[in-house]
Chains A and B, each alone.
Chain A
């Protein structure tokens, strides 16, 4: 029997499995998706969407308004995201502490875990010479408007920018093993230390025994089960919540499936007379760092995407669509991400299908409109000839559903990551986030994994 079974291999599961293995434990890491390596990641945008995401691309909320991008492969979302590594500020931790009653939610207690994770990753803060056309337009306009901005810190090694490598390709997985995904920074190192990995297993049932936990699932259409002394769910907000709901925990834990938030992101485009080439080189190197924006609950990021995704964001059909796409290289792009309220819910229907409800509150709408006002100023100052907003929007940071707290009526796991009332079942991923921090969640998820590993190895 394994000492620990970790279910889910994204930011939380990858780091946790590595630190447990490094601590001498016998660990099995289970993942619903496949294992891809740097030389086997999909090479086209179409294959990336089809092969690496649940649902074959985008999943939607109940109202079919907000799209969610949820990955399905070893390494999880850390494979496709930009690997931006930000520590939380006091605002984020204070809000967590106040909502959950967990007293170690503060920068002092989390610092050793941040330090440990950062020391196991290659980190890079972008410099001026690495800015592409889109970033230069953003920075110049922010300077003119006196908006504060900052260079992003990313988990990366040698991205080959000096050789002309375009990092847009790594949205489908980094073909250089430069991006410090969970796979590169933790899982591959764990494999060398004896970490076992079982792929393509979707867990649907959890059963707690006196001294162990049995988990049952499906592997290539056939039932399969595993038994571990302790099981830690790291399937993310949707994955872990779904496993808990399917296993009948909602009757014991009324907060299960509640407090969902997703940092909704709205993209705006400006068409420039000259080519911007937002898709070239390091396509995301700067972001807003304005304390006023933070207070108002939004941030701006300098992003872009390959043609099919950009085509999806423009809602006009016919010849006008093609003429718009013809100006792909002239597009400037900025998104606003809001620190949304955690009013969403995650449920399953009688067939076990996820039903996510996420509606904006007045406060969310105010944050969005404040952010869009700033974006319009930036695009106008940048000299955009035409400006448009995509009516599609996305939740990329899926958080909550199994939140941490001291009250079993308002939370799912206790401050030791244990499911309330269970001694051998734990959760350690973004589903335990009490509310939306308004900051990229990846580094903190990994650091929470480190904290739990230290606790369990003791």
Chain B
């Protein structure tokens, strides 16, 4: 498996993740749970140029001041209802879906840090399905 994401990129994702999913009630903050070691598995079918752009973006986010990250998240949160189809509107919508996809996938599902010992978000959501094979 290729190693697409730098440590700085993983740090950038963690920082964004903690703002998107902070510690709250029983829920742990993103960076306590995040399965960052699985990022490469999640992009096996993604075009290489998109992966490279994402790696660069996350790396930049790793050293941005927190207030800029919060501003960015605010823009992402309203991007889907933004009527603009110009460059800015499209970019924030792409960012919203792309970052959310990585953050939620490595938090609410099975791709979490194997060293995390608390109750997982998936357990807190109480999601269980039966896969019965005869």
Which residues does A use to contact B, with CB under 8 Å?
39, 43-47, 49-51, 53-58, 60, 62-65, 67, 72, 158, 160, 163-166, 168-169, 175-176, 279-280, 306-308, 311-312, 315-319, 321-323, 325-326, 328-329, 353, 391-392
Contact = CB atoms under 8 A, between A and B. Distances in A.
A316 B97 CA distance: 12
B45 A166 contact: no
A127 to B, nearest CB: 20
Contact of B46 (A43, A45, A56, A62): A56
A317 B19 contact: yes
A322 B21 CA distance: 7
Nearest to B129: A166
Contacts of A64: 89-91, 93-94, 97
B124 interface: yes
Given A50-B45, A55-B47, A319-B25, A164 B122 contact: no
B68 interface: no
B115 interface: no
A53 B45 contact: yes
Contacts of A164: 130, 132
Interface in B34-56: 38, 41-47, 50
A321 B41 CA distance: 25
A325 B121 contact: yes
A176 B134 contact: yes
Contact of A63 (B45, B47, B85): B85
B20 interface: yes
Contacts of A392: 80, 97
Nearest to A39: B133
A311 B104 contact: yes
Contacts of A176: 132-134
14 contacts: A46-B106, A56-B46, A60-B94, A63-B89, A64-B90, A65-B80, A67-B97, A163-B132, A169-B129, A306-B109, A308-B108, A317-B20, A322-B121, A329-B125
B131 A322 contact: no
A56 B127 contact: no
A57 B101 contact: yes
A328 B126 contact: yes
A329 B91 CA distance: 33
Nearest to A165: B132
Contacts of B44: 50-51, 56
Contacts, number: 151
Interface string B58-98: 00000000000000010011001100010001110110110
Contact of A50 (B42, B73, B89, B132): B42
Interface in B107-128: 108-111, 121-122, 124-127
A169 B47 contact: no
B38 to A, nearest CB: 7
Contacts of A65: 80, 85, 93
B3 interface: no
A218 to B, nearest CB: 13
A322 B125 CA distance: 9
Contact of A60 (B97, B111, B122): B97
A36 to B, nearest CB: 13
A175 B18 CA distance: 36
Given A64-B94, A165-B130, A166-B129, A312 B104 contact: yes
Contacts of A280: 129
A322 B24 CA distance: 8
Q: Which 8 A-B pairs have the closest CB atoms?
A: A319-B24, A391-B80, A165-B132, A56-B46, A64-B93, A166-B129, A322-B27, A311-B104
A54 B43 CA distance: 10
A58 B130 contact: no
A452 to B, nearest CB: 30
B38 A46 contact: yes
Nearest to B106: A46
Contacts of B11: none
A307 B109 contact: yes
Given A50-B41, A50-B45, A322-B24, A45 B101 contact: no
Contacts of A50: 41-45
Contact of B109 (A46, A166, A319, A353): A46
A46 B108 CA distance: 10
Contact of B124 (A58, A279, A326): A326
Contacts of A46: 38, 41-42, 105-106, 109-111
